[in-house]
Amino acid sequence: LLHPTIDPKAARDVIGIGLPASPGAATGEIVFSSNDAEELKTQGRKAILVRIETSPEDIHGMHAAEGILTTRGGMTSHAAVVARGMGKP
């Protein structure tokens, strides 16, 4: 596969569902700011950036995060378009 996936046989807890705006799968610690995502990356830890919506000011956190999750937006939102361009779920 060209995009990361999670083993379908692996034990996991589903804590939410949404639109797959960018293909693939990611795991990591949840962070709520771009600065926190960047900080975890410098520590060698993986982050999932969770935001209500993203803006151009979040680009450094989006780059540092393994994946991006937003509560607003759709397939053509800023987060979706940028994540697809970066190859991030």
Q: Is residue 68 part of a domain?
A: yes
33: which strand partners? Answer: none
Residue 43 belongs to some domain of the structure = yes
The pLDDT of residue 17: 75
Task: Reply yes or no on whether the pLDDT at 31 is more than 90.
Answer: yes
- Domain assignment of residue 56, yes or no: yes
Q: How many domains does the chain have?
A: 1
User: Does the residue 34 lie in any domain?
Assistant: yes
Over the stretch 65-78, which tens digit does the pLDDT of each residue have?
Answer: 999 999 998 899 99
- Residue range 14-18: average pLDDT? 75
- Provide the CATH number for the domain around residue 78: 3.50.30.10
pLDDT surpasses 80 at 15: no
Mean pLDDT of 24-45: 96
Domain that holds residue 46: 29-86
- Would you say residue 14 lies in a domain? no
pTM, 2 dp: 0.85
Tell me whether residue 5 is in a domain.
no
Please, are residues 40 and 26 in contact by the beta-carbon 8 Å criterion?
Answer: no
